[in-house]
Every structure is written in C-alpha cells, then in structure tokens.
Amino acid sequence: MDLRDSKGAIIKPKGDVNQQFGDRTYYINIPKPEDIPSLPTIPDPPPDFTGREEELQELLAKIAGGSSIIGLRGIGGVGKTALAFKLAERLRESYPDGQVMVDMRGTGENPATPSEAMGSVIHAYQPEEKLPDGEAEVKEMYRKVLNGKRALILLDNALDDKQTLSLIPPKSCALMVTSRKSIKLPGLFRKDLDVLKPKEAIELLRKVCCSTSGPADLPEKDPVWMEIARLCGYLPLALRAAGSYLASSEDVSPREYVRELADERTRLVVIGGEGVELGVDASLALSYKKLKAEAQQTFLDLSAFPADFDSQAEEQICRDQGHRSLSELVRWSLVDYKAQGQDYGRYKLHDLARIFAQAKLQEEQRAALSRRLASYYKDLLSAAEDLYLQGGESILAGLALFDREEANILAGQAWAAKSMGIDPSAAEICMRYPDAGVYVLDLRLHPRQEIAWLENGLEAARRLKDRSMEGNHLGNLGAAYADLGDHRKAIEYHDQALAIAREIGDRRGEGTLGNLGLAYADLGDHRKAIEYHDQALAIAREIGDRRGEGAELGNLGNAYDNLREPSKAIEYYRQQLVITREIGDRRGEGNALGNLGSAYANLSEPRQAIEFYEQALAIAQDIGDRRNEGTWLGNLGSVYAALGEPLRVIEYYEQQLVITREIGDRRDEAIASWNLGLEYENEGDLQRAAEMMQICVDFERKIGHPDAGKDADHLESLKAKLRKE
C-alpha cells in the first residue's frame, strides 16, 4: 500500500503557539488536548432563557412518541436556536452518545453544502478522517459514523429541503432543524414559533434589564413594561437589546425609553427597516445611538464575521485594542458571549444585528474588513497546520483549531478568490491560502473543494507571476488528482511542477519527484517509481526534511515490496519507523508498522505480519484514520487467507470494502473487491466472485493498469464456468 504522507512539494516547518507572520504577531488561542471533548456537545441555553414551556413539553412528547425529526420555524430573532439549545439540554440523557450542532449558514452568502455539513458531524466523532469526493460517499460515511449511536444532531439556520435532506440520521438518532423557511423532510414534526406571550416577554425584559442595574424599583405590573414589550414586537432579540439599553442607561427611565422607541419605530416605518424585523431594528438603532463612537465602529466592523469568533480575531480585524469595545457591546446585549461550556470564550453577532450593521457600511469599508478577515484567517490556518506537523497530541489540536474556525476560514478564502481580479492584495492572499494548510486541508476539504482552492491559488500565482507558488500549486493539484484515482492527470501536473522547480532552482519544490513516484507506482511501474523516490529521498536529506525523509523511505519500501524484495523493503520500513516515532507522527508510525506487516507477509511469516498489522490497525482506529484502517483490515484478510481461515478472511475483506466505499477510495475498493472475489471463488461462490472481480477489472481498465488484461482473462474464465453451470 502506497503511503500518502508527502502531499505535494510543500512541507511546512514547526511553529510556536505565538505565531509570527511578517511584522505581526498573532496570539492564537490554541485548543489544549484536554479542551477537546471526547463527545461533542451542543451549547447550553442562554442563562436568561424564558418561557416556551408549552412548546418544550409538546416537543418532548413528540420525541417520546417516536418523532425523531423536529423542525423549528420562525422569523429572525424569535428564539429558535435558544429553544433548540433548551430542548437539547432536556434530551441530554436520552442521547448519551453526543450532541452535534452544525451552523448551516442558511441566511449568509455562503450556505453550507450537504457534504460540508455531514463532514462536520463525521469530524466530531472521527477528527482525522479524510472525506471522500462524492456526496453519496460522504452520506454513506455519515450514516456509518452515526449507526448504532444515540446522538442528537442540530442543523441550525438551515436554508431549505435540499440542504438538509441528506443529513437525516439513522433511526437511533434524533435531528433538530431551525430555519426561517418551511422545510419538509420525511417524518418531520414542524413547530412554528411565534413571538413570546406578553407575560413571558415582560419576564425576559425584566430579567435582562434588572439583572445588574437599571429600574429594579419599577413594579412588575407597571404598564410601561407591557408598552416596551409591545413596541419590541415581543421578539426575544429586541427585548434583550431594550433591556440592556435600560440596564446601561441610568439617565433614561423606562417611560423616556418608551417615547424614544415609539419615535424610532415611526422613523423606520417612513424610511424602511433594511430588511430587519421592525421591533428589532428599532431596538438596535436606539442601542447603537447610545454607544460611544469607538464601540459604534466596532459593532459595524463585527459584521465581517460570518460565524462566531474569539477576542484575538476581533482585536486584529476590528482594531479594538484589548477588545474593550467588544466588551461594551456584550454589556449592551448586542453581541452574545459564551462564558462556559464547549464554546467558552466565543462571541457571536446575531444574523439580524449583522444585517443592521452591514447596511451602515460603505462598500470600501466592507472590502477593507473582508481583506483583514481573509488575511487573519489565512494566518490562523497556517497556525493549525504547524500544530498538525508537530505530531502527537498537537495533531488533534491543529484539526480542532481548523474545525472551530472553519466558517471564517472558508469565508476569507472565498472573498480572496472572488476579489483577486480587482485587488492585488486579494490575489496575494488567495495564492497563499492553499499553501497555508496543506495537510489540514487535505483532511478537511472534499477533494473537489481542495482542487477548487488550488486552482484559485494557481490563477492568483500566475496573475502575480510568482513561479515558486505556481509550482507548489501544480504539485498539490497533482496530489489531489491522485487521491481521486486520476493518475495520468496527476503525472501531468507533477511534471509541470517539477519543470518549474528546476527552472527556478527550488530544491524543496523538486520534492514533487516523490509524488511522481507514487503516481507511477499506482500505475504499476515500480522501477520508475524507485527512480523518483530515490531522488526525492536525497533532496529531503539535503534540506533536512525529516517528515519527507520518512515518507520517502516508506515509499521506497513499498516499491521494493511490490517487486518481491521484502528483505530490502524491511530495511526501509524500519528506518521510516524510527523517524516517525522521533517526530511524533502517529499516522506515519501506523503506516510503517503496517508496511512492515506486508513485508513479513511476503516473507511467509504470517504471525509476525499479523502482529504488525494489528498495531497499525489500532493506531488507525485511535486517530480516526479510516483510509488506513481499511488498508490494514484488507491486509489482515490476506494473511489469514494464507493461513487457510476463510471465515476470518471474508470478514476482514468485507470490512475493508465497506470503508473504501465510505471514503470514495476507488483504488482500494478495487483491491478489496478482487481479494473478496478470489476468496468467494475458493469457496465455490462463483457468482459473487465474478461480481467482485468485475469491479476491479473495470477500474484497472479505466486507469490503464498493466494487470488489466491478465485479470480480465481470469474473470472471463470464471464467467465461462458460470455459463456451464
């Protein structure tokens, strides 16, 4: 099995937690291993959550009665997400295998695709899993991950039926969907949320208004509370803004506020409410006017964030030193802050507040904010990559950092790609994005999405006439197409990358020789693969790239093993194992152990092979590496075939086949299918044998594999036997 550790020509150095980028130092909030939860959780409801008890009891009864899909529909600001959090809290014991929330970004410019949303759930349980290309394969993996679990999935802020249909989980799980539009899913019970009842609205208003300061001496039954609640439209978001205004404005009485709020609503009726519910817009407008100038600007600047964020990002993007203005906005309830739980330290601007703020920005202001956001999250992606490359526990910390900031990272790259034709600084950022997270993006982006990023980066590099980055992107495009099984196209890109590297004297860039070796190995030309891997190994040693050195040692071992020279392969694998353990590369360690198992299998030492394979399998399962998990299962099947244990053989091969189909690995699917076919043939089940072998032969013909003719002849002879039966 070929190693895929060397991803293109870009090998990034180790980095510190305090990342230095040019003349700036960003203090990135790195997730600690102990902060990465063993089971995913949904945030707690707001501390001032009020009312909705009738709705909660109705929803709980529906779930208890067998309804496993719940839809919460309502206007913006009505409290759909807060109710979903409260319902999840009540259901925590009923779904002990975790609760996963996915922001579907239905009201934003870049709604989540079904594959992205399913990927978020998959990575909540298997953080190191690489997602397959096709949506059907991702869906199969999604259901496999959730199969047998009692888990609750929350799709917050969903767009429509098409976005959510694929995310219906197995029957053992429950699904909640919040949306502004009506969503129709099979078996869904939909609850349309109205505004709060007047009594509940007053209760929420007084909780916010009188929690710290404010007019606590005003009786609860004073008519002024009802009038404020009415003018706020009984909407929770507007009520929170009004309550915070009163709590922070000792010089404004509730009665004075009623007059101001009535005047503001009248003004908005005349000029239009900018697409925001009138009660919310009026409340936000009054709170906005009360802010200091610096806080007003920060509030507008926060509209650049498409999702939640931390104070470090806010300070850089909004230029708010010490996030003083951000803290003021929290006090005014214009920004939500998570003071505990899994999202501790995160801030979020409500969608309606974002719309309100964006309407007050000029186009050039929006562009400047987007530029700063794109630059910041490009650097944060680089920090996640550096963590991943440090190995050990830092691998999961790097992936967790990406997962936490994924929406912001994607938004930054999307803006840069969209704007590079009119903004040279956007082209520079766009060019750097794929380079910033080679390994992390390989695990987190779908192959087609990764290719789109690389194509954007390539276009930007050519616009800027940066030959080095052009070569990097060409090499990584080759690796991406190799992952899709298109090895001829991969070789075309690697050849172009190699030509550029040699033209500009880039020795690190010449490391794409190793990827050429992988491509030729996939096509069955192992002698040619060895030529390329030998050259790549020499370069890795010359430039002190230990990770690349380990990968190339493993690749050379694979090539010699495929040439039936297992003793020589073992020499390379043992060197690889030493390096992977030295640098804390768990995935590389698993590969080295598994490849040692293959070599000992070829030496007819099955028990030794099983020992190595089982160690490799344990590592793959421990880190959530489904691709290699499938490989080692298949190799265990092959060893037990040599030992004459057909039941165990079929069991391992079938497990491998399921995984290869889940992750969309056509090459390993073909291998697993062929091996299963041989075993079925040995057991006398010729029909199933032919079905399995056909899958392999079709794939070999498609890629022009040298064994295609030989294997096709074997299949035809098998079919001839079937026709005689």
Q: CA distances (Å), 363 to each of 294, 368, 424, in order?
A: 20, 9, 17
Measure CA of the first residue to CA of the last residue in the chain; give whole Å. 37
pLDDT band at 603 (very low <50, low <70, confident <90, very high): very high
The pLDDT, as a whole number, for residue 443 is 84
Q: Is the pLDDT of residue 274 over 50?
A: no
Rounded Cα distance between 696 and 698, Å, is 5
The pLDDT, as a whole number, for residue 3 is 28
Computed from CA positions of residues 515, 520, 524, 528, in that sequence, does the dihedral angle turn out positive or negative? Answer: negative
Q: Which residue has the tokens 């700036």?
A: 24
Averaged pLDDT for residues 17-31:
40
pLDDT tens-digit readout, 363-397: 999 999 999 999 999 999 999 999 988 877 788 88
Strands 69-73 and 99-103 come out as unpaired
Query: Where do you find CATH 3.40.50.300 in the chain?
Result: 53-192
Which range, 25-29, 351-355, 676-680, is most confident? 676-680
pLDDT band at 38 (very low <50, low <70, confident <90, very high): low
Q: What is the radius of gyration, based on Cα positions, of the chain?
A: 29
Rounded Cα distance between 135 and 331, Å, is 43
Averaged pLDDT for residues 599-612:
94
Q: What number of H helices and E strands is found in the chain?
A: 32, 9
Averaged pLDDT for residues 401-423:
95
The pLDDT, as a whole number, for residue 393 is 76
The pLDDT, as a whole number, for residue 469 is 95
pTM of the model: 0.64
pLDDT tens-digit readout, 194-249: 889 999 999 999 888 875 444 556 677 788 899 888 888 888 888 888 888 888 77
- The stretches of 391-446 forming alpha helices (DSSP H) are 394-419, 424-436, 438-444
Instruction: Kindly state the tokens that stand for 161.
Output: 């039926």
The pLDDT, as a whole number, for residue 32 is 53
The pLDDT, as a whole number, for residue 26 is 40
How would you class 290 by CB atoms within 10 Å of its CB: exposed for 0-12, middle for 13-18, buried for 19 or more?
A: middle
pLDDT band at 267 (very low <50, low <70, confident <90, very high): low
Q: Check residues 169 and 219 and name the one with the higher pLDDT.
A: 169
Contact 708, 527 (CB under 8 A): no
pLDDT tens-digit readout, 476-520: 999 888 888 888 899 999 999 999 999 999 898 888 899 899 999
Q: Check residues 280 and 19 and name the one with the higher pLDDT.
A: 280
Q: For 624, left (φ over 0), alpha (ψ -120 to 50), or beta?
A: left
pLDDT band at 22 (very low <50, low <70, confident <90, very high): very low
Contact 658, 629 (CB under 8 A): no
Helix axes 254-271, 236-248, angle to 10 degrees: 130
pLDDT band at 578 (very low <50, low <70, confident <90, very high): very high
The pLDDT, as a whole number, for residue 128 is 79
With CA atoms as reference, report the closest residue to 437 among 12, 3, 132, 27. 12
Distance between alpha carbon 510 and the CA centroid of its chain, in Å?
30
The pLDDT, as a whole number, for residue 133 is 76
SS3 of 316-368: HHHCCHHHHHHHHHHHCCCCEECCCCCCCCCEECCHHHHHHHHCCCCHHHHHH
Rounded Cα distance between 305 and 317, Å, is 9
pLDDT tens-digit readout, 49-95: 999 999 999 999 999 988 899 999 887 788 999 999 999 999 999 99
Rounded Cα distance between 301 and 294, Å, is 11
Which residue type sits at 241? Answer: A
The pLDDT, as a whole number, for residue 273 is 44
Rounded Cα distance between 471 and 8, Å, is 10
Percentage of residues in the chain having pLDDT higher than 90: 53
Rounded Cα distance between 309 and 396, Å, is 20
Q: Check residues 241 and 315 and name the one with the higher pLDDT.
A: 315
With CA atoms as reference, report the closest residue to 496 among 534, 453, 467. 467
Where is 391: in which H helix or E strand? none
Percentage of residues in the chain having pLDDT higher than 70: 91
With CA atoms as reference, report the closest residue to 391 among 539, 572, 553, 589. 589
Instruction: Kindly state the tokens that stand for 254.
Output: 């509730």
Rounded Cα distance between 442 and 461, Å, is 20
The pLDDT, as a whole number, for residue 119 is 93
Contact 257, 242 (CB under 8 A): yes
SS3 of 98-115: CEEEEECCCCCCCCCCHH
Among 3.40.50.150, 3.40.50.300, 3.40.50.410, 3.90.1300.10, what is the CATH number of 53-192? Answer: 3.40.50.300
Rounded Cα distance between 442 and 437, Å, is 8
46-55, 87-96, 346-355, 453-462: range with lowest mean pLDDT = 346-355
pLDDT tens-digit readout, 296-307: 999 999 999 999
Could you give phi then psi for residue 415, rounded to 5 degrees? Answer: -65, -45
Give the chain's mean pLDDT.
Answer: 86
CB atoms within 10 A of CB 200: 18
SS3 content of the chain, % helix, strand, coil (to 5): 65, 5, 30
